[in-house]
Amino acid sequence: MKTIKSALLGAKSIIDHNPDAMLFQLKEIIKEHRALIITRMIGELSVYLDYKFHFKPDKDTLLKIKEQLMQLKNSGVDLKLYDNIVQQLTNRAQVHLTNEPFYHEIDEDLKDFVSSKQMKLA
């Protein structure tokens, strides 16, 4: 049995008898953690976009970005983006999730969208 600790989800146990089942369980935990981050982010999205990208969207653009985030929230998890967590889970009995890889995935998903909007305004 392995444990994943998350500040957002608490402690989650993973049965580690089968590597495929273990990775499936990990994907579900990552998806749930990412969904919580995105839900919180959407509530203060204009503040986040200004802080992270120095971008102040208009109302229509903000709505499109929220839709983009909702698509990411509901999408599957690519474990390649979370390889560090997978490696930790393989080698340890307990893993602590940090928000860094989640924000990296979210920012990468938004970066092209925000950049293209900024270029159109220029």
Res. 120 pLDDT band, cuts 50 70 90: very low
pLDDT, residue 106, reads 95
Tens of pLDDT along 6-59?
A: 999 999 999 988 989 999 999 999 999 999 999 999 999 999 999 999 888 889
pTM: 0.89
pLDDT, residue 82, reads 96
pLDDT, residue 111, reads 85
Tens of pLDDT along 84-114?
A: 999 999 999 999 999 999 999 999 999 877 7
Number of other residues whose CB lies within 10 A of the CB of residue 29: 19
Burial class of residue 37, CB neighbours in 10 A (0-12, 13-18, 19+): middle
